[in-house]
Structure 1
Amino acid sequence: MFSLQVLTRELSVYLESQVRVGLFGSGVGLSLVLGVSAAYVCYYLSSIAKKPRLVAAGEAFRTFLEQHCPAVTDTYYPTIWCWEGRAQTLLRPFIAYKPSFQYTNEHIKTADGGQISLDWFNNDVSTLYPDASTRPTIILLPGLTGTSRESYILHMVQQSKTLGYRCVVFNNRGVAGEDLLTPRTYCASNTEDLEAVIYHVYSIYPSAPLMAAGVSMGGMLLLNYLGHTGKETPLKAAIIFSAGWNAPESANSLEKPVNWLLFNYYLTTCLQSSVNRHRHVLEKIFNLDLVMKAKTIREFDKEFTSVMFGYPSIEDYYKDASPCYKLKSVEIPVLCLNALDDVFSPGHAIPIESAKQNPNVALVITSFGGHIGFLEGIWPRQCTYMDRLFKQFVQAFFEHGSEIHST
């Protein structure tokens, strides 16, 4: 752990012993560098490195987290040279190490004639849980355009592997390379496909404890599902990362000039590219010329997503897609991680008051970390704060979950 007092003392000793040439020569430059470095580190320790805020109304849930998930109370030290939210968001995909796994792919049919692609990591070499029928299982939900190959998904699979668990990645229709069989993709509010996946996995391993983890839009989808189903779900717990709690507020934030340039326009083109790949199926129903003219995610959702799922307007879709309105109906333990500097989910939109009214919900809120960033360490390739929290929570739940008594 960093210590301001120790750091200041060490720098002072170093300066006294190494810089002895007065105001001239090489000592001036070295002194300046060390002085600026000391000032920066002091600023970092006083203003950047902070303990996350834990919001948990349920005493049993709070106690469980404090005892078994030290990350919820430990100081979070963002990467010292990359702590700003947008920088963390942009750099994580390039910095983070991508573990390699051999998935087993499965396609399941849906009631409307479509198909969903699942990527299984069965962890059959698990020595902690050699019985496949009772091996703890985690369903992973990637973000808006994400698949099982995203670095943050691979890191969760890696953490699960070390713990002996099985993972199943739920790829939304049409994004993982498979054909789109019907003119329907996916959205944050429609939970039918997720429900089908959950019951499919449960039907194969009914004796295996089952939980889920959702990231970004995957987190929104999972929260909306839990809000709809209450206790009527095979899931025993869930963990959510960087969910957009209020869709209109997320859209407003992403449409600010810098955020539009860095994130919004790129994601819009990714969505359009996916639609264009399935043009032969979709153009029979949708005006794809209007869809391809969209410059923002909101415009794309207005011309495509809200129309596909039968909403009268984009406002109706965004309200239904916002998990903040369903949080009170969640009836299994759910841990949610957000950063206040996440441009995809602005801090003022995090439903703190609603969370305080539901003993099944806990929020962990960091001051920095961006969107699916949470980088820590000098060169954060192997593990992030998000990875640590995931590992601690799933292990704690599968081993000590009985300690939580939801009301």
Structure 2
Amino acid sequence: MDTSRPASVSKPAARLDTSACPVPAWLPGGHAQTLYGAFCAQHPSIHFARERVDTPDGDFIDLDWCGPGLDPHRTADGQATAHESSLVGTAASRWANDGDWAALPAECSAVILFHGLEGSSLSPYMQAMAHAFRQQGWVVVAAHFRTCSGVPNRMARAYYSGDSAEIAFMLGHVRQRLPQARWHAVGVSLGGNALLKLLGESGHDVPGLRAAAAVSVPMDLPACGQRLSDTFSGRQLYSRYFLHSIRRKIFDKAQQFPGSVDVLRTQRMRSLRDLDDLYTAPMHGYLNALDYWTRAASFPLLPGIRVPTLALNARNDPFVPEASLPGSRDVSPDVLLHQPGQGGHASFVTGMFPGNLHWLPARLLRFFQSGQ
């Protein structure tokens, strides 16, 4: 476990909610809940209009939009559109155009969603959240980290858990699109760590952001990295799953940028520590996996958060050791910690068989609407 946490000092304690997520009895244990939520639980299907935004360093990110007045299957002037061939295999049906921004309500509630490792707007938790917020009349933006929208990005770098600057850039862009909207942000897992890191670094200086939520976040990255790299389930189940797609992306990067990646070594990766030692850390300015985990972790920055924030972590999350979760004295009083006993990682399945993913977005909406 990371030993660099700040010592507890005398200050107002944050709120701690331990109320249960009503996971069904037929789905016991964090592994089952995580895997079932990712691959089997029922969730709505929602489509988007996609915007491509150039970044200051010459790359791009893709943002998927939906909301009142924006039809992903029709242009702003009402013309039906076929699913654009460049977007096949994604949750976006067409490219956004200038008329779409005028069609969206100027004053509205809006949320930007940041996915986890190897996620996208197609991920079940992203689909469930986008659908629930859209049903309540919100504008929704599903943001993609580089390489995750289904298209290779332009640069050798990709994305990583500590990239708070990328979060800030995306928040700034959507605020420019809808400057009068009441903006909120949700980050899941890796995306949640980067969001919390930004909030902790920025304090009050997060323009236009009303509230935020972080779901299933590995705030203590060294502890979580060790869990996923050193345990049998971490190496043989979760690391193997993530590395399947990441290896392919790294190989493509090596073809695109000869000499930037040692392909032979990366082909021998067996854990997330291997990935971060051989690719993530050196590609993004860190010495090795431990240096990356330590410097990118949001945990030490939690006391600096001044935006109302919900931090939701199930205590049986197989990615996040329970002992690594923050207590009420480890975070700012502006943070509400919700730590139910059950729920797994980015899952929180509820309901009768075959189960659904309704509980998570309902919990987020409750926080954003009432602060509870």
Same fold by TM-score greater than 0.5: yes
Deviations 1:12-44 (A, max 9, x none): xxxxxxxxxxxxxxxxxxxxxxxxxxxxxxxxx
Map of 1:290 onto structure 2: 265
> Which 4+ residue blocks in structure 1 deviate beyond 6 angstroms?
none
Letter in structure 2 aligned against 1:140? L
Structure 2 residue 335 is matched with structure 1 residue 361: yes
**1:235-384 aligned within 5 A:** 235-254=209-228, 255-355=230-330, 357-384=331-358
| One-letter code aligned to 1:301 | D
User: Residues of 2 paired with 1:309 and 1:267: CA distance?
Assistant: 19
Counterpart-to-counterpart distance in 1, 2:191 and 2:265: 26
Other-structure match for 1:113: 58
Cα 1:175–1:222 change in 2 (3 A) is: same
CA distance in 1: counterparts of 2:45 and 2:351, whole angstroms = 22
List aligned pairs for 1:31-42, cutoff 5 A: none
Note if contact 1:250-1:343 (Cα within 8 Å) is conserved in structure 2: no
**What residue is the counterpart of 1:135 in the other structure?**
108
* 2:67 aligns with one of 94, 101, 122: 122
- Whole-angstrom CA distance in 2 between matches of 1:344 and 1:386: 18
8 A Cα contact 1:85 1:373, kept in partner: no
How far apart are residue 74 of structure 1 and its match? 5.0
Opposite residue 110 of structure 1, the aligned amino acid is T
Whether 1:146 aligns to 2:119 is yes
Size of the alignment, in residue pairs? 329
Task: Verify the 8 A CA contact 1:136 1:165 in the aligned structure 2.
Answer: yes
Q: CA deviation at 1:388?
A: 2.3
Percent identity over the alignment?
A: 27
Question: Is the deviation greater in 239-248 or in 311-320?
Answer: 311-320
Q: Is the 8 A contact 2:52 2:60 kept in 1?
A: yes
How large is the Cα RMSD of the aligned pairs?
2.3
Q: Structure 1 CA distance, aligned partners of 2:130 and 2:360?
A: 13
Alpha carbons 1:83, 1:369 under 8 Å: kept = no
Whether the aligned pair in 2 keeps the contact of 1:180 and 1:281 (CA below 8 Å) is no
Assess if the C-alpha contact under 8 Å between 2:193 and 2:298 holds in 1.
yes
Between the aligned partners of 1:77 and 1:101, the Cα distance in structure 2 is 25
Per-residue deviation, 1:222: 0.6
Structure with the higher helix share, 1 or 2: 1
Quickly say closer, same or farther: Cα 1:73–1:251, change in 2 above 3 A: closer
Of the structure 1 ranges 137-146 and 102-111, higher mean CA displacement relative to structure 2 is found in: 102-111
TM-score, scaled to structure 1: 0.76
Corresponding residue for 2:100?
Answer: none
Q: Closer, same or farther in 2 for the Cα pair 1:252/1:395, shift >3 Å?
A: same
Q: Distance in 2 between matches of 1:117 and 1:200?
A: 12
8 Å contact kept, 2:189–2:218? yes
Distance 2:359 2:47 in 1: 25
Q: Which has the larger radius of gyration?
A: 1
Q: Match for residue 90 of structure 1? A: 35
Q: Residue 82 of structure 1: CA displacement?
A: 0.6
The offset of 1:178, in angstroms, is 1.9
Cα offset, 1:103, TM superposition: 0.6
